[in-house]
Amino acid sequence: MDILKYTPEHDEFRERLKTFLAKKVTPNVDQWEKDHIVPKKVWRKFGKAGFLCTAISEEYGGMGGDFLYSVIVAQELSYTVHSGLAAALHSDVVVPYIDAFGSKDQKAKYLPGCVSGKIITAIAMTEPDAGSDLSAMTTTAVEDGDNVIINGSKTFISNGINCDLVILAAADPTVENKHQAISLYLLEADTPGFKRGKQLDKMGWNSQDTAELFFSDCCIPKTCRLGDSGSGFLQLMMKLQQERLVCAMGAVFAAERIMEFVIDYCKTTMINGKPLTRSQAVQFAIVEMTTKVKLGKTFMEKLCVDHMEGKNVVIDTSMAKYWTTDMVNEIAEQGMDLCGESALLESNPIARAKRDVRVMSIFAGTNEIMKGISAKFMGL
């Protein structure tokens, strides 16, 4: 029995998405990988077609769909084998902060553009000296009458070049408790004092515009704050369940794509007149790898159901995030071993997949952090 129950409406959405990706995305992926960015016009087309922010209510231009639409988007995008059109980051990680914590005016101002693709979002937490430890944050937010003055820098920000709107985590230096000092702010890209740094030349995620961001006396009104002052850390914690579930989804779907290629390669590559799959060693390796992927998918899909039912599965999603992202790295490594020298060629999707999956065990909280969180709540 299938864990996820798709309706005819879900199926119709999937087919429309497949058609869109086949026409507008897949043929251009190799060029975007070379350019290290996806054109903003593609985001607008993606949004206009109804594939961004599917959970946002009709009041703000969305479809008010359930989380299964997010699963479908993540799964179908995995077939394009690229990371630049980071729909899951925008739709399921960043925009939910506005939807959950934004005022009515903030929602009316920003959500329609997020849905249509006219507004591309980024979330800025990581700093040069503060990654998983938010309490070490040094970017400051100082109140000045009706305004807030932002100073500091962020790094490794996905959508950093393309973003029109940044959800920025910054701390009030006058508050002694580091966690209670953090607030989230909505900062538009044309704000004076905001500057994009260089686009980072990194291993993998070549079509993703990851960049440094700098804030020098950025003056924004207090009305740009999301929720109450000092509530930022709690807001971040409240949204980590979905963020880590999205990471697990990405890992599982990437592993499935790797296995599809590896199995096809081993079936069609001949050694001494016989396909590689006639070798018992290759057979056992493929069976073991496929088993891991199926286990990860079952775990992930069960958590999707729990999440949609409103259950608190923060610990489970932390476990899923670390296990599935470790798993996909193992699958990519074993896939390269099975495919041999050909897997090192840029024309081979395994090469790109190997680079792209490596960071999954690092972002959204390192896997060591995930294990530490789980251990704490297990009373260890």
Catalytically active residues, by annotation: 243
What is the DSSP code (8-state) at residue 272? T
CB contact set of 338 (below 8 Å; sequence gap of 6+): 262, 265, 266, 276, 282, 285, 286
Contact predicate 192/159, CB 8 Å: no
Name the amino acid, one letter, at 220. Answer: I
- Of the candidates 200, 119, 126, 215, the one whose C-alpha atom is nearest the C-alpha of residue 162 is 119
Structure tokens at 152: 């500091």
Give the alpha-carbon dihedral of 193, 199, 200, 203, to 10 degrees.
150
Q: How far apart are CA 77 and CA 81, in angstroms?
A: 7
Q: How far apart are CA 93 and CA 70, in angstroms?
A: 11
According to DSSP, the residues that pair with 109 across neighbouring strands are none
CB contact set of 79 (below 8 Å; sequence gap of 6+): 21, 26, 257
Beta strands in the chain (DSSP E): 121-124, 140-144, 147-157, 165-171, 182-188, 194-199, 211-221, 225-226, 270-271, 274-275
Place of tokens 């702010």: 185
- Of the candidates 155, 168, 59, 61, the one whose C-alpha atom is nearest the C-alpha of residue 121 is 168
